[in-house]
Amino acid sequence: MIGFNLVPADINIRFIPRRVIFFIFSALIVAASVGLFTIKGLSYGIDFQGGIMIDVRTSGPADLGQMRSKLGNLGLGEVSLQEFGQPDDVLIRVQRQDGGEAAQQAAVVKVKTALGSGLEYRRTEFVGPKVSDELFWDGVRAVSYAILAILIYIWFRFEWQFGLGAVIALLHDVLTTIGLFALLGLEFNLSTVAAILTIAGYSINDTVVVYDRVRENLRKYKKLSLEELLNNSINQTLSRTVITSLTTLLALFALYFLGGEVIRDFSFAMIWGVFIGTYSSICLAVPILLYLNIRRGGKAPLAEEAAPASP
């Protein structure tokens, strides 16, 4: 069988010798992300700032574009629509209006007037500040628990040094994603939290593949310098990493351009996550091992010890 490689099998890119450049670059974008979050903040969606949710059923498949056009000029702020279960079920979300309950009721009347008759209004709910605050902290806890679980998993599968390196790379990915949303003013909602959790899963998958090759080479080449061994491990898995990233990006770009307004921000976060997750797996998670005093386990045969390192 003829193999397919986008990256030549004998490639030997010098990643590890350039680790200081990668560390400085990552430190700068993380610092910028934290600064943007602190100074500018995030543009929280209805999930996190409260608002109005209206569940409607149309007489046939809903024309979301026409409905957005009708509701977009009412001066109610952020209005989002999404198909909810069936093609004729639509969930409308309107940001919380300034004022009390009377202001929220007035917004509901505006929405119903703009959409006209022929719709069944199945449910109308108001998401208050307390509920939205609880949703925000639930999202924070979900991301924190995911990172902790990943640390424990890597620790048991490899060693604690590998777990620490993986978590540093994951925190880098999460913080830079939040910084990007702050920079561009994109809506930050529960879908974004789901995207961050997915990015963490994608990034750790890449990292585990490279770490597995590192562990294999640690047992195999006892006399090879650690810097050369780590660099060889990255290059040996580079073809797989590139192919996985490109195929994932093909699907995500299709979602971004063809999936509609509802999942556009989610798709954008995932596209960024593939780039930054691939970068952190190669340029952060592995070079960090140089400074964590990893040990070489196992006992390799003499023939393997004397064998030259494959690129």
Give the ranges where 44-158 is alpha helix by DSSP (H).
46-49, 64-71, 101-115, 129-157
Q: What are the C-alpha distances in Å from 20 to residues 14, 220, 290? A: 12, 27, 12
Q: What are the C-alpha distances in Å from 78 to residues 148, 218, 280? A: 35, 54, 34
Q: Indicate if 96 and 219 belong to the same structural domain.
A: no
Q: Strand, helix or coil at 205?
A: helix
1 pLDDT above the threshold of 80: no
The two structure tokens encoding residue 43: 């543009």
309 pLDDT above the threshold of 50: no
Average pLDDT over residues 275-292: 93
Average pLDDT over residues 42-58: 83
Is residue 156 included in any domain, yes or no? Answer: yes
Q: Indicate if 23 and 55 belong to the same structural domain.
A: no
Confidence of residue 307 (pLDDT cuts 50, 70, 90): very low
pTM for this structure? 0.77
Work out the number of other CB atoms within 10 angstroms of the CB of residue 40. Answer: 12
Confidence of residue 251 (pLDDT cuts 50, 70, 90): very high
Average pLDDT over residues 28-56: 88
User: Which of 127, 150, 173 finishes a domain?
Assistant: 127
Q: Indicate if 258 and 148 belong to the same structural domain.
A: yes
Phi (first) and psi of residue 44, to 5 degrees: -70, 140
pLDDT of residue 140: 85
pLDDT of residue 305: 40
Confidence of residue 4 (pLDDT cuts 50, 70, 90): low
Q: Indicate if 24 and 78 belong to the same structural domain.
A: no
Range(s) of the domain holding residue 210: 16-41+132-306
Is residue 10 included in any domain, yes or no? Answer: no
pLDDT tens digits for 197-228?
888 888 888 888 999 999 899 888 888 889 99
What's the CATH number where 55 sits? 3.30.70.3400
Confidence of residue 130 (pLDDT cuts 50, 70, 90): low
pLDDT of residue 131: 65
229 pLDDT above the threshold of 90: yes
Is residue 236 included in any domain, yes or no? Answer: yes
